[in-house]
Structure 1
C-alpha cells in the first residue's frame, strides 16, 4: 500500500497549486480603518475626564465610566447607548468607536506568541507598530524550542516578561491590550508548517504549556482567583487558538480555508480538545479563536456545538470567541457553505456563538440580517458584553495603576534578553555526541571553521509570528568571542555552490574544530506552507558530507528547524561527532548555541515531537486525521502515543554532557478509587481473548476523582558536569485495554543537579485525570487493573493496581 500512496503523492505534486496565501479580494463595504490610534499618548485610559471634555461631553452623564458601578452595569449602559449600526461596527478587529457617546476606537488584533509581534502590521485592523520610542521588543525562541525545556516555570516567566513589554508598549501608544496567542494545536503530522508555533505533539504537555503561558500573560498578583472570574483583573488578554482540529495549511489539493477535517469523537476528546479545555478551564484564558477548517462537515466558526456548547458551556469561557481572519469571506467564497447569501451566513455564525471577527467586511450584512429578522439584536448585545467585559478587566476604560507607569525602561532590558538566552539554552537538544565531541575546550579548540546555511542567521532564528528584535546575536557573532574563527558564507538553503563547498573544505583543514549550521527556515515550513518531505535539501546534505570527509576532526552539526528532519545520514556518519537541534532560538540564539558548544551550559532539552524517517510521509496522507493506526489502509499511527515504527529520534529524546540515574524512593502499589453510590461500571474495549476486571472502568466525569499517585524519584548526577535533567513520567494503560495509547505523558519536571550530587523530585498524579483513556464511545474512562508508571526512557518503573470500589 505504501508504494502506491507514494506514487499518487508524487503525481499530485506535479499538478499541485501553489501554497501562497491569498486574502479576500472583495472590498469591504464600510470605510477601511485608519492608522493605529495612539489614544495612550494623550490620555491614560478611555474614561479619562479630559478626553470627554475634548469631545465636548460631560463624563458624569455616562454611567459606563462610573467606577462605583459593577462592570456588568457599566457594560450594559454602554451597549444601550448604541444604535444597531454602531453596535455592528464594534464586533470586528477594528472597532470603530462612537464619538457621540465618548467610546474610543479599539484594535483587537495583536500577537505575542514569543514576543510582541509585527504579524498583521499592514492589515488596517492590526494594533501593533514598532519605531520611534519603541524600536523593538525582546524576541524569545519559537515555542517549539521553549517547550523542549519541559520547564513550566520558564514558560510562565517568558509570558510574564512579554506581557510586561506589551503593557509598556500600550502605554507608549504602540499596541493595545488583547493578544491572540498562544497557538495550542497538536502537531499531529510532521509535515505541518506551523509546528514551530506549537508546544509539540503531546496534548497534555501542550495543555500544561498553555496554562502556564496564559497565566503568565494575564495574572495580576493577588487576583489569580476571584469569586467572579468574569470581572477578574488581568494584565493583558490572551487567546487560545485555533479551535478545532486544525493542523493543515496547503497540502496538494487540501488547504486550510476549506479543508474538512474528518475526526472521530474519540480523537476530538483525547487529543484535539484537551489542550483547549486545559487552557480555558485551568488557564482562564479570556478568549478562544475558531479555525478556518470544517470539522466533520461543519465550519468550526459556525458550529454551536463547538462554540456555545463546548467553549462557553462545558468549559465556561470567561471572555470572547473570535474567528480567524476574514472568516466570512472564506466561508462564503471558498467553502460556499450551504450556498447561503452572505447576510444569512453572518447571522448563522453570530448565532452559533461568535463574538468578534478578525476582519471588517461583514458590517452591512449583519445590519441587513437584523432587518430581515435572521439575526436578533440581542445576539450582537451578547457579543458586545463579552468583549467589553474583557476591556473593563484589562483596564482599557479605567487604567491599571500597577502598570500605568510602564514605559521604555521596561522593554529590551538586559534581564529580558538574558531570559531569552536562557530559554534558548534550556531548549537546545543534544542529539548525538560521539566520544564526547562536545563540549569544545577553549584551550584546545582555539581555531574554529564555521559555515553553513545559518552560520550568520538573523531573521531565520526568529521563526514566524515574530516582531522587531532588540538586537541579534548570531552564531558567528557569539563564537568569534570564543575562538579564532574562519568562516565561509554563501551556503543558502539549497547550498549548491561548489566554490563555497571548496572554500569550506579548505577552512576545515586548518581548524581545531568545525561547526556547520544547517537546516530550514520559515520559507520551508510556516503558515500557509506544509512540507512534502522531511529531508534536508540535497545540496545541504552534499555540503555536509563533503566537508565531513575533508575534515581531520569530527564535525559539529547544528540544525535550525521546527519540524523534525530525517538526518539519518548524519546520525550514522562517524565523521559527524555531534548534532545539536536549536529550533529557531530567537534573538539571543547565537549566544545560547555558543554557550552549549563550549560547555558553559550543559544541554538538557528533550524533543517535544517525534523525528520520523522520511518514508513515514510516503505511508500516510497528511489529510488522514486519526491518531491510531489504520490496518485496512496500512496507515501507521501518529505521535509517540500510537506510532511504534522506527524513528530518527523519538519524542522525549535528549542527551547531556553528564549522566543521570533514577531511583524510586517511594511509590504506591495499589490505589482504591471511589465510585459514586449509583455509578455504573462501564464495559471497555478489550484485546482478543483478554480478560478484564469485574468492574472494567468508570466514566471519570461522574467520579469524585480525589485519589492521587504520590511518588518520589531521586535524580543522581553521576558524571563530572553540573546539569539539568527533564524528568518525563509516562503511564502505560493495562494490557487488556484495546486501542489504548502505547504510553502517555502524565507528569514532568526539570531539575538542576550538581556533579556527584542528587535531588529528589516529588510527583503527584491524579488517578482519574492522568491514568484515564478515551474509549471509542468518546467517554473518558478510568480502566481498572495494572497500570505501569515509567520514568523517562529508563528501565525504572513501577506497577499500580487500580481498583474501582464503592
Structure 2
C-alpha cells in the first residue's frame, strides 16, 4: 500500500525498538522507472535501443551474476552482456581487488579517510581517475566504491576508514569528486553501502553466528526521517548529482527491512526522491528474496547465488519464470536492464572496455576458469601492470593528508643536522610476513598503511617509515647523522637505551580496524576500544622518559585516545598519518623534512574519552535471537556536532591541523544572491515503458550450442513447466498473498515534493548566499590552508554549527588571497517531515569562517532568504 506523505512520515519516524514495538519501514511502490533526464539522456536512449532488441533471458542475464565462483560468458546470439562486478568487477575501495584473491601489478592507494584529511577536491578527483584507470586496464566494469556508508556514527566502527569523514558535506564532496574521476576513466563507480551501515557487529546474521551470537537476522539501523535526510542520505545526494552509475545496497536492515529489500529507501528515497538513473546492486549475499527484492528496487543480484558458492539463485531462471507468469511485470525487468546499460554507456564502457585479464581466485598464471567445480583449465592471469605513474598521486595524498597536531618551536621540520635519530616502534618497520603476508591485510604486523577486509588490495611494494628515514639521512644528510631503529614493541629496555642518546626520537604507533569477516586480536572488525595497539602507550612512555625531543607519528583508521600523553612536555610534535598506502614512508619524510608544509586537517574529532562521542557500538544482542536493534537516537549529532551540542572540549577538534607557517583570516563579506522562489515538485511520471515483445516459455528454453557449466547461474528454462523450472516450493502460492499493493502497476505516479532527476528538486541546489573572506600567510614559508565555512541553522534542536563549504588553497609567504564560496538552498534548509520537503526556517542563521570547527574568527548574521 502506498501511504500518504504524513502517514508515511509518522511510520518512518518510528517508535524505536522494544520486544513488542520495533521500528518500521513503510512500503513504497511501484519502483520508479528510469527517465533518462539531464546528462543521462544519450546513455538512456542507447540503453533503450539495446534492451529493446534483447530476449527475455538476455535481459535476465544482465541482472544476475553468474555465481560466486564463475566467470562471464557470451550469450547464444554472441551478444556480449555485462556481468558487472564479478569476474568483471572489484570489491574494494583502495585498489584492484577481486572478490577473493587480490590482483597483482596494481597500486595500493591511500584510504578514503586520508583523502578527506587533505580537504583537497582536486586530489580526490585525481585518486578517482588513477583508480579508475587501473580497474579499466584490468578489465573491470564496476569499481565497488567510493564509500559513504559507514558515514561515521561510531568513531571505533570497523570500516570508517574506507569512507571519508563523519560529516555529510566533507564526505559528499569527496564522494562526488571520486566518482567523477573513476567514471571519467571509463569505469562505473558504485556508491556504497546504502544505507545506515554503521557497524560491523551483527551486520550479517551468519557472520555474527560465527562469533557465537545467537541471532537469526541482521542488525536493524533504526533511523528517523529527519536524521536520514540531514545526515546519512546527504552524501548519496552528492553521489547521484555526480552521475554515479551504481549504488550498492547494504547488509544491515533499516527500520527492520533489509537494505536490498527496503522499498522505502530504494524506491522512495533513492529512485523517487533523488531521481537516481543508474542501477542498484546487492552487496555479496545481501539479496534476500526473488520477487520481493525486484519489486523493492534491486536491479542487479551479485554475485547471483543465494548462498555464496551454491548453485541456487533468487533470480536467474527464477526471474525469467517470474516475468513469464506475470508475478513481476516485464516493464520492471526492462527497467533493470536499461538502468544497467545506461550506466555502461554513460561512462563509455563500449569504447574502452578490455576483457578481464586476471582471476578472482588465484594469482597462478594457469588454473580452472570455474574454480569451485574445477572446470576449464586455462590461462587466467596475464600479469598486466596497471600502475602507470600513480605512485606520484599516492605519495602526494599521503603527505597532504598528514595532520600536524602538535609542534613545539624547533621540533619540526627536521634539518638534516640531527646527531642521532632513534626510530622506535613496530609501526615503523616491515611486516615479517611481507607486506601482503596477511590475507586481506588481516593482521597488524609492521607499519600500518591499509586497514583490513574486502576494501583492501595487495601492495606492489610498501615503503616503510624506517626505510624512508634511513634513505633520507643517507641521501641528503651531512654524513654525520646516526640512525638506529628498534621495532619490537616489547623491547622497551632497548628503546630506552637508544632514546637516551638520541637528539630526536621518532615514535611510531598505530591502531587498526576492518571488515567483520576477519577478527584481529579479538577486534571483530570494529575496534574493542580506542586505545593504541601493541603496547603503543608504553612505547611512548618509554621514549618520553629518556628523550626530551620525542615526536609521535600515528597510523590509525580514525581517532584514538591520546589524553594520557599528548601534553607530555617531552613530546615536541605529534603527526597523524592515517592509512597512506604504498608510499607511506616517503610521504611522511616529505613532511618531516619540510619539503611539504603540512596542510592536512583532521577529518574527525579527537576526544578525551570514548563517552564524549555518544552511544557505544552495539555489541550485545538486544532483541532475543531476532535482529539486534541499533537505535540512532542521537539524530544528526555525531562527531563534532555531538561535542559542540554537549559543550565538551575535544583535544583536537574536527578540521584542526597545524602548519609550518601562520595564517590569518579577515574581511568577511556576505551577500544575498538573486534566486527563484522554491517550488515543490508536482505532477506525475510518465507511464512505465515496455520494451520488446512478450515471450512464451518455449522461447526461453536452454539453447543448444553452449557447454553447460555446473553451478553456473543461467537465465534459461529447463522445461516449459514453469513450476518445475523454478524449483521453488512456493511457486504455486497465490501472488496476492505476497505482492504488495501497487507494486506491479506501471501507470503514472505522483512525483515527490523534493524530487528531481539529479539528486532532488533543482531549486535545492540554487545558490542563495555568497561569502567572501581574506586569508593571509603571515609566516615565512609557503603553505596550504583550508578555509572552512560553518553555518548555524538557528533551531533549538539543530547542531550548534554544521560544515557547509571548504577549499584547500596554496599561499606564498606574505601573500593575501580572497576566498569566495556560496551557500545553496539545501545548505540553509532543514528537512520537514510533515511536508516531506526541505524548508528554510525562520530562525536567524549565522555563518562562521576559519580553519577548524572551533577556530572560527570570522562570523556574520545571514540575510533572510527563501
RMSD: 3.5
Which of 380, 387, 390 lines up with 1:412 in the alignment? 387
Deviation, structure 1 residue 417: 0.9
Distance 2:639 2:341 in 1: 47
Deviation, structure 1 residue 260: 0.8
Determine if the alignment matches structure 1 residue 626 to structure 2 residue 633. yes
Name the SS for the 1:238 alignment partner.
strand
Distance 2:458 2:344 in 1: 26
Deviation, structure 1 residue 782: 1.0
Question: Could you list the runs of 5+ residues in structure 2 that have no partner in the other structure?
Answer: 1-42, 203-207, 307-311, 358-381, 436-447, 474-480, 519-523, 618-629, 682-752, 755-759
Q: 1:256 to 1:120 in 2, by over 3 A?
A: farther
Q: Deviations over 1:287-324 (max 9, x none)?
A: 00111111112112111222122222222222210111
Q: Deviations over 1:744-768 (max 9, x none)?
A: 11110111111222222221222x1
Scaled by the length of structure 2, the TM-score of the pair is 0.69
Which of 382, 386, 403 lines up with 1:429 in the alignment? 403
Determine if the alignment matches structure 1 residue 346 to structure 2 residue 290. yes
Deviation, structure 1 residue 117: 2.6
Deviation, structure 1 residue 624: 3.9
Report the counterpart of residue 177 of structure 1 in structure 2: 141
Report the counterpart of residue 447 of structure 1 in structure 2: 420
Determine if the alignment matches structure 1 residue 75 to structure 2 residue 51. yes
Report the counterpart of residue 357 of structure 1 in structure 2: 301
Q: Deviations over 1:27-65 (max 9, x none)?
A: xxxxxxxxxxxxxxxxxxxxxxxxxxxxxxxxxxxxxxx
Question: Could you list the runs of 5+ residues in structure 1 that have no partner in the other structure?
Answer: 1-66, 123-128, 171-175, 221-234, 332-344, 680-697
Distance 2:679 2:483 in 1: 75
Scaled by the length of structure 1, the TM-score of the pair is 0.74
Deviation, structure 1 residue 597: 1.1
Determine if the alignment matches structure 1 residue 549 to structure 2 residue 549. no
Deviation, structure 1 residue 248: 1.1
User: Would the aligned equivalents of 1:322 and 1:358 in 2 still touch at CA under 8 Å?
Assistant: yes
Name the SS for the 1:139 alignment partner.
coil
User: Would the aligned equivalents of 1:672 and 1:804 in 2 still touch at CA under 8 Å?
Assistant: no
Report the counterpart of residue 164 of structure 2 in structure 1: 199
Determine if the alignment matches structure 1 residue 311 to structure 2 residue 270. yes
Deviation, structure 1 residue 462: 2.5
Report the counterpart of residue 34 of structure 1 in structure 2: none
Q: How does 1:511-522 map to 2 (within 5 A)?
A: 511-522=502-513
Q: 1:557 to 1:637 in 2, by over 3 A?
A: closer
Q: How does 1:192-591 map to 2 (within 5 A)?
A: 192-219=157-184, 235-250=186-201, 258-280=218-240, 282-328=241-287, 331=288, 345-362=289-306, 363-366=312-315, 367-368=317-318, 370=321, 374-376=327-329, 378-397=331-350, 399=352, 411-413=386-388, 415-443=389-417, 445-457=418-430, 459=435, 460-464=448-452, 465-483=455-473, 484-491=481-488, 495=489, 497=490, 500-522=491-513, 529-537=525-533, 539-551=535-547, 553-591=548-586
User: Would the aligned equivalents of 1:279 and 1:285 in 2 still touch at CA under 8 Å?
Assistant: yes
Deviation, structure 1 residue 166: 2.1
Name the SS for the 1:798 alignment partner.
strand
Name the SS for the 2:138 alignment partner.
helix
Determine if the alignment matches structure 1 residue 116 to structure 2 residue 116. no
Moved more, 770-779 or 537-546: 770-779
Distance 2:840 2:59 in 1: 53
Tell which has more relative contact order, 1 or 2 (C-alpha 8 A, sep 6+).
2
Distance 2:168 2:679 in 1: 32
Report the counterpart of residue 814 of structure 2 in structure 1: 756
Name the SS for the 1:424 alignment partner.
helix
Q: 1:254 to 1:142 in 2, by over 3 A?
A: farther
Which of 101, 113, 117 lines up with 1:144 in the alignment? 113
Name the SS for the 2:166 alignment partner.
coil
Name the SS for the 1:606 alignment partner.
coil
User: Would the aligned equivalents of 1:196 and 1:526 in 2 still touch at CA under 8 Å?
Assistant: no
Report the counterpart of residue 774 of structure 1 in structure 2: 831
User: Would the aligned equivalents of 1:188 and 1:639 in 2 still touch at CA under 8 Å?
Assistant: no
Name the SS for the 1:568 alignment partner.
coil
User: Would the aligned equivalents of 1:715 and 1:761 in 2 still touch at CA under 8 Å?
Assistant: yes
Q: 1:411 to 1:781 in 2, by over 3 A?
A: same
Distance 1:762 1:101 in 2: 57
Name the SS for the 2:827 alignment partner.
helix
User: Would the aligned equivalents of 1:525 and 1:531 in 2 still touch at CA under 8 Å?
Assistant: no
User: Would the aligned equivalents of 2:551 and 2:574 in 1 still touch at CA under 8 Å?
Assistant: yes
Deviation, structure 1 residue 561: 0.3
User: Would the aligned equivalents of 2:138 and 2:384 in 1 still touch at CA under 8 Å?
Assistant: no
Name the SS for the 2:650 alignment partner.
coil
Deviation, structure 1 residue 506: 0.9
Deviation, structure 1 residue 706: 4.2
Q: 1:237 to 1:429 in 2, by over 3 A?
A: same
Name the SS for the 1:298 alignment partner.
coil
The number of residues matched between the two structures is 654
Q: Deviations over 1:460-517 (max 9, x none)?
A: 21334232333221101110023345444443xxx4x2xx111111111222211011
